[in-house]
Amino acid sequence: MTRILVFGDSNSWGTPPDGSGVRFDAATRWPQVMAKALGWELAEENLPGRTTRHDDDWMLGAAMNGLAHLPVALKSQSPVDWLVIMLGTNDLKARFEQDAAGIAAGLMMLVDCARRIGGGQAGWEDDTPPKIAIVVPPALGVLADDAKWPRLEEWAGGHATSLALGDAVRHQAKMREVPVFDAGFVVKSSDIDPIHIDAESHRALGLAVAEWLQTL
């Protein structure tokens, strides 16, 4: 059976937009919806707050660094036939001072890392790369620019950068021959939380990514 690893942040972990912090159940989360539609075995490696390549002292420090953790995820979850990366949202935080090209570069570093470490299909030490796909997260909602939003300062400028992220990722991924799916074509962030997607969007995204992967 094909085994797929999803490597992401809170929108793949299943953080709801209602502020409760209570994770969506397995029937709701988009990686689970995707895997069920494909009939593939799923490994979930998703952490709220994860960045592409930055430590975050406001949260769990180095634990938030996706580039540092990806080798561990690939080895611990091997064999991995497919790796789907959906990161970049947390890189939009003002403290990381990233533009769209910088965030895309972080994603490409993850691609390079995965190709170096491999998927372990022929055994734990096998460094044959898994197939890799990138899902660009949906843009931050317009609430992210609202002066009344309590987290405005933390995410200042993030909305505009998020709108440019898809093109930046596609440009850089083309040079590495990595397929890219823009989640913003299918879903949008919640009206009550500009960072997270709701349960209906999880289902829509999971089905859309499954259909897309079948074409690759």
Question: In this predicted model, what pLDDT tens digit does every residue of 144-192 receive, in sequence order?
Answer: 999 999 999 999 999 999 999 999 999 999 999 999 999 999 999 999 9
pLDDT at 124: 94
- Determine the Cα–Cα distance for residues 9 and 87; give it in Å rounded to an integer: 6
Render 26-94 in DSSP notation, one character per residue.
Answer: TTTSHHHHHHHHHT-EEEEEE-TT-BSS--BTTTTBGGGBHHHHHHHHHHHT-S-SEEEEE--SGGGSG
Low pLDDT (below 50) residues in the chain: none
Q: Domain span at residue 203?
A: 3-215
Token representation of residue 160: 């505009």
Token representation of residue 189: 């962030």
Structural domains in the chain (count):
1
Look-up: residue for tokens 């995410």?
Answer: 155
What's 206's domain CATH number?
A: 3.40.50.1110
- Determine the Cα–Cα distance for residues 104 and 62; give it in Å rounded to an integer: 20
pLDDT at 189: 96
- Per DSSP, 124 falls in state T
- Classified as helix, coil or strand, 122 is coil
Answering whether pTM is above 0.85, one says: yes
